């Protein structure tokens, strides 16, 4: 399976809105999920007021929380199985 590319915006606005919570979540996902994802940082996804923002395989998600991120990843990984 091709890895799911997750870009977490680490720009100032997203940082202030909680991007670090998303990074912390991604560090503690189950080991079998870790092998399926490629986590990268990026400086701005150009939706600064709606952060924290991520891009998953090129699709931007705004206002992310760890729970929402888990739902997105779960759907993608289950669909690929």
Q: What one-character DSSP code corresponds to residue 2?
A: P
Residue 6 or 14: the one with the smaller Cβ distance to ligand FES is 14
CB of 77 to ligand FES, least distance (A): 25
Please tell me the number of Cα atoms within 13 Å of 68 on its side-chain side: 15
Rounded-to-integer distance, Cα 25 and Cα 2, Å: 21
Is-contact 6 54, C-beta < 8 A?
yes
By CB under 6 A, what part of segment 8-67 binds ligand FES?
9, 11-14, 44-48, 51, 53
**Residue 69 binds to ligand FES (criterion: CB under 6 A):** no
Residue 48 or 76: the one with the smaller Cβ distance to ligand FES is 48
Dig out the tokens for 17 from the structure: 């809105």
Binding site for ligand FES (CB under 6 A): 9, 11-14, 44-48, 51, 53
């Amino acid at each position: 399976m091709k890895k799911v590319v997750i870009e977490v915006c680490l720009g100032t606005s997203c940082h202030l809105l909680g991007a670090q919570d998303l990074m912390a979540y991604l560090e503690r996902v189950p080991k079998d999920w870790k092998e399926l994802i490629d986590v990268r940082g990026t400086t701005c996804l150009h939706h600064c007021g709606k952060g924290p923002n991520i891009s998953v395989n090129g699709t931007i998600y705004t206002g992310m929380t760890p729970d929402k991120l888990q739902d997105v990843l779960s759907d993608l990984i289950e669909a690929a199985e």
